Amino acid sequence: MANPYKSQVIELLRKRFGEIRKIKGSESLFVVGDEAARVYFRYSKLYPGGRTFFGLREVDLRQLEGHNAYLCFLLDDGSPPLFLPYADFEEVFHNAETAKDGQYKVQLYKDGGLQLYVARQGRFNVEGYVGLGALEGAMDPGRLRQARALSHSQVQTLLAGIGHSKGYDVCVPESDVGRLDWSLTARFPLRPSPPAGFERVRAILTEIDVMWVASGGNKIEGLYEVEHSTPVYSGLLRFNDILLTDPKVSRFSIVSNDRRRDLFSRQLFRPTFKKSGLAELCSFLEYANVFEWHQRCRQTTV
């Protein structure tokens, strides 16, 4: 029986881009136009607690290599499809291990922004890839180059803007406030200091690039370290110190360019981060993803 959610998205792609056809021998792999793109559809029910379960066949992923290819994740809750450029995650799957059935097991979490979990490779924020518009944007090299050329301070500004649009109080290091680029987002007041109740890690928190805090409260909703030129490992160590000292904080993201995604996975799964639990809590957020996420948030608040 045909999956109605997949059929609906295929029809949308056909209306937007024209011809779309199945690759011979597969029910899930499709070609758009004259090899303009390849799309690999995967589907999961949304289970209690927001759990999802996807299996990606290794043999199917091989047919995406070297092409302008996308992983399309579909849920049965009516949420828009998620289109991930396969090239951005190819090295992640190359370093992952398949289950006995020859599939990579992945999950999606709606936790402070949509996150993709790849077993033993970590979590990756994929909020910027939601919807058909994300696919069109990802297929436009000019747009991606613009996003990836962002400076450290500009990425901080966009992350701050995203947090503000979600209703959080936002805190950045005092030394960075004057460098924020308010041409990228509407100016808003910043929280002057970390929340109360985190005295033991206060010195570390004051150095975190962007912090989201529950509005008017003391709960930390997200910590973001922008590793523009500094080692990814240094940001992970700061997160690890915070987690070990105060486990109430449980949402961490390393933000960097796509070339560092593989490095993030290798560093995150060192024994020290696996033992502390950081390996299961920390996600990777790429610059282009920040740009797209901010664009979506700005459109919904206009």
Kindly report, residue by residue over 74-92, the tens digit of the pLDDT.
998 888 999 998 988 988 9
Instruction: Dump pLDDT digits (tens) for 38-56.
Output: 899 999 998 888 889 999 9
Q: With a cut of 80, say whether residue 151 has pLDDT above it.
A: yes
- How many Cβ atoms sit within 10 Å of the Cβ of residue 224? 26
- Number of domains composing the chain: 2
CA Rg value for the chain: 19
185 in the same domain as 128:
no
The SS3 of residue 135 is helix
Q: In the predicted model, what is the mean pLDDT of the chain?
A: 87
Give bridge partners of residue 124 from the DSSP assignment.
116, 284
118 in the same domain as 32:
yes
Position 300 scores a pLDDT of 66
291 in the same domain as 181:
yes
DSSP secondary structure of 248-267: T---EEEEE-GGGHHHHHHH
For residues 245 and 269, what is the distance between their CA atoms, to the nearest angstrom? 20
Instruction: Dump pLDDT digits (tens) for 103-114.
Output: 999 999 887 678
154 in the same domain as 72:
no
176 in the same domain as 81:
no
The SS3 of residue 283 is strand
Q: Between 287-301 and 152-165, two packed helices, what is the crossing angle to 10 degrees?
A: 40
DSSP secondary structure of 16-80: HHS-EEEPTT-SSEEEETTTTEEEEEEEE--BGGGB--EEEEHHHHHTTTTS-EEEEEEETTSPP
Q: With a cut of 60, say whether residue 149 has pLDDT above it.
A: yes
User: What is the token pair recorded at 165?
Assistant: 């649009």
Is the entire prediction scored with pTM above 0.75?
Answer: no
Of 139, 171, 193, the position where a domain reaches its end is: 139
Is residue 156 within 8 Å of residue 209, measured between CB atoms? Answer: yes
Under DSSP, the state recorded for 156 is: H
> Which of 221, 226, 195 lies closest to 208 in space, CA to CA?
226
243 in the same domain as 98:
no
168 in the same domain as 106:
no
Instruction: Dump pLDDT digits (tens) for 251-289.
Output: 899 999 877 888 898 899 899 999 999 988 898 888 877
230 in the same domain as 116:
no
User: What is the token pair recorded at 229?
Assistant: 């030129």
Of 139, 168, 199, the position where a domain reaches its end is: 139
| Mean pLDDT of the region 160-189 | 95
For residue 64, the enclosing domain spans 4-139
185 in the same domain as 116:
no
User: What is the token pair recorded at 209?
Assistant: 């690039």
Position 143 scores a pLDDT of 33
Is residue 69 within 8 Å of residue 40, measured between CB atoms? Answer: yes
Of 139, 155, 180, the position where a domain reaches its end is: 139
For residues 187 and 284, what is the distance between their CA atoms, to the nearest angstrom? 26
User: What is the token pair recorded at 164?
Assistant: 């503000």
Give bridge partners of residue 211 from the DSSP assignment.
171, 223
129 in the same domain as 58:
yes
Q: What is the CATH number of the domain that holds 80?
A: 3.40.1350
156 in the same domain as 83:
no
268 in the same domain as 166:
yes
